[in-house]
Structure 1
Amino acid sequence: MPRKHLLTFALLAISGLAQAAETIDVYRDPSCGCCKAWIKHLSDNGFTVNDHVEPNMSAVKQRLGVAPRLASCHTGVINGKFVEGHVPAEQVRLLAERDDLKGVAVPGMPMGSPGMEMGDRKDAYQVIGVTNAGLDTVVAQY
């Protein structure tokens, strides 16, 4: 195979792997508008989103191991890890690099977080990582 074609093939293969790693399943209540806005935020930031309308979000959160103290309105799953609430896309992406975490969460629905933009108001909030041992750790502050 000529070198030029080999390089092109390698780049396409790497690109395909990157795209596969950027797919997230999002579970949301059928009537939630901010969930749709968060999905748009992820899509605008290069994620492929599989949108699942779920009438019983409590069961989804329980199945995925999301503690009630971390709950928000929607729950994502990427590479077997949970993403709870209005987590910025950059933190979703960084989750893949954290083998010590089983998920991240933005508890509640802070104004100004992705999907919760309303005018100029921006509340301070934290992205909480949940370690494989079940401990909370702050991974980012906004």
Structure 2
Amino acid sequence: MNRMSRIAAVIATLVLPLPALAEPIAATLYKNPQCSCCEGYAAYLRDNGFTVDVKPTNDLAQISAEAGVPAEMEGCHTMFVDGYVVDGHVPADIVKKLVSERPAITGITLPGMPMGSPGMGGEKSGPFTVYAVIKNGPPPVVYAEE
């Protein structure tokens, strides 16, 4: 019967769906047409399980503002993923956390262009602080650090 158990296990492995082979996470990234670090960020996301549609625009500040990101909290590009706004070079694992946990926020932002962040050159000099934003709500609060 031991042989039959092994055969059943092999068949179950072949027939049952594989866990955690998730569908890619679809994202739309708006960026300044001349910005190359945003292309680097898109490539980084693709390497981490995202499909990314890059849309060059000269209206980035307006897109971020309309999405609910305060001007002082903007990154260098604005991305929309699964109903959330993600501004700046936010690490992929934090974006995945956002999408899986589904908090009641508008989105997250990593302000500015921190050296060593995904898509940026240079060395990381300290933790990246990612903030949660709520459109027309209270001031941003820390969502995650990495």
Q: Which residue of 1 aligns with 2:60?
A: 57
The amino acid across from 2:63 in the alignment is V
Where has structure 1 moved over 6 Å in runs of 4 or more? none
Q: Unmatched 5+ residue regions in structure 1?
A: none
Find the aligned partners of 1:110 and 1:11 in 2 and give their Cα distance. 37
1:41 aligns with 2:41: no
Q: Which residue of 1 aligns with 2:130?
A: 127
Say how many residue pairs are matched.
134
Contact 1:100 1:132 (8 Å CA) reproduced = no
Q: Which residue of 1 aligns with 2:114?
A: 110
Q: Which residue of 2 aligns with 1:30?
A: 33
Contact 2:64 2:78 (8 Å CA) reproduced = yes
The amino acid across from 1:40 in the alignment is A
Contact 2:68 2:135 (8 Å CA) reproduced = no
Q: 1:11 to 1:93 in 2, by over 3 A?
A: same
Instruction: Tell me the alpha carbon deviations over residues 94-128 of structure 1, each in whole angstroms, 9 at most, x when there is no partner.
Output: 1111322210000011111111132x343443011
Find the aligned partners of 2:127 and 2:96 in 1 and give their Cα distance. 21
Find the aligned partners of 1:25 and 1:74 in 2 and give their Cα distance. 10
TM-score normalized by the length of structure 1: 0.81
Q: Tell me, what secondary structure is at the counterpart of 2:116?
A: coil
Q: Of 128, 142, 145, which aligns to 1:141?
A: 145
Find the aligned partners of 2:124 and 2:107 in 1 and give their Cα distance. 27
Find the aligned partners of 1:76 and 1:31 in 2 and give their Cα distance. 17
Q: Which residue of 2 aligns with 1:87?
A: 90
Q: Tell me, what secondary structure is at the counterpart of 1:41?
A: helix
Find the aligned partners of 1:73 and 1:133 in 2 and give their Cα distance. 21
Q: Which residue of 1 aligns with 2:3?
A: none
Instruction: Tell me the alpha carbon deviations over residues 25-58 of structure 1, each in whole angstroms, 9 at most, x when there is no partner.
Output: 1000111011111111101101010111112112
Find the aligned partners of 1:138 and 1:63 in 2 and give their Cα distance. 21
**Cα displacement (A) at 1:85:** 0.3
Contact 2:28 2:80 (8 Å CA) reproduced = yes
TM-score normalized by the length of structure 2: 0.79
The amino acid across from 1:114 in the alignment is P
